[in-house]
Amino acid sequence: MTPRLLVIAGSDSSAGAGLQADLKTAQLFGVYAQTVVTAVTVQDTMGVKAVHPVPPQIVRAQIEAALGDIGADMVKLGMLGNGAIAAAVADSLKGAKLPLVLDPVMTAKGGAPLLDGTAAQVMKERLLPLALLVTPNLPEAEALVGIAPRDEAQAAAAARKFAALGVANVLFKGGHGEDDMVRDFLVEKGVVTLFAAPRRHSRHTHGTGCTLATAIACGLARGKSLAKAVGEAHAYVQAAIRSAPGLGSGHGPLNHAVRPI
């Protein structure tokens, strides 16, 4: 059977991030993705212009429709927006008992907030404990547990704080670092694995977090180990940045059509 992924996230009108990036990534990895829209954003490569949250009851109905018919092998969770939507998602997923990759989307690439304080609290208390893997970038890790890990020791310390929130596995993304290497630290049940690549000083990095989390979820849906899925997703995103089409005047999209490594 074709692997099935349920993506719960916001829509990006520029198609570089959000559900549009998720769909393109899943298609490339040979995974069938269904979508649950949590918010409609108005954005281009210069930034987010507006956000329109979807009513929580419609979010929940979308999840029920997706799981009630086609079903899913994995869930990828992205933008939540507000507390009511986060609670609706938590209510729907609690009984589903499906493996979840959670990308704690808190701000857009240009800095616009995409998660309010109530939603962040719901995520910490009700959604993080459901996740097989959480994929924070450095600012998100600092916001959630007070540590922005830039080395192995800091990653281990931050992972222990995530473990106290009920999270067994964390991937700390190093895209916001400042040195010449991008260092992503996977902490899987206490064991730290480094995934590193030369940093490309490119403005065409819109949607890297969405794309990475979805690529990992696709690998897991296809039966890969967590470390293997993360490694392949890391290589894919780096290749997608290197071959980005150069669109837009700001943070441009990746090349989601690049073949996985």
Q: Which of 173, 174, 214, 231 is catalytic?
A: 173
228 is catalytic: no
Residue showing tokens 């669109």: 247
Opening angle at CA 209, ends 38 and 122, nearest 5: 45
* DSSP H stretches of helix in 32-148: 56-68, 83-94, 117-122, 138-145
210 is catalytic: yes
Q: Which of 83, 109, 124, 210 is catalytic?
A: 210
Cβ-based neighbours of 66, under 8 Å, separated by 6 or more: 6, 34, 36, 72
Q: Which of 41, 205, 211, 214 is catalytic?
A: 205
Q: Which of 10, 16, 81, 207 is catalytic?
A: 207
189 is catalytic: no
45 is catalytic: no
Comparing CA positions, the residue from 82, 73, 60 lying closest to residue 101 is: 73
Give the length of the chain.
Answer: 261
Q: What is the bridge-based pairing of β-strands 4-12 and 47-53?
A: unpaired
Sign for the pseudo-dihedral over CA of 88, 14, 171, 233: positive
Q: Which of 209, 219, 231, 252 is catalytic?
A: 209
Longest dimension (CA), the chain: 47
CB count in 10 Å sphere of residue 181: 11
Residue showing tokens 């991030």: 17
109 is catalytic: no
Q: Which of 41, 135, 208, 211 is catalytic?
A: 208
35 is catalytic: no
Give catalytic residues, as residue numbers: 173, 205, 207-210
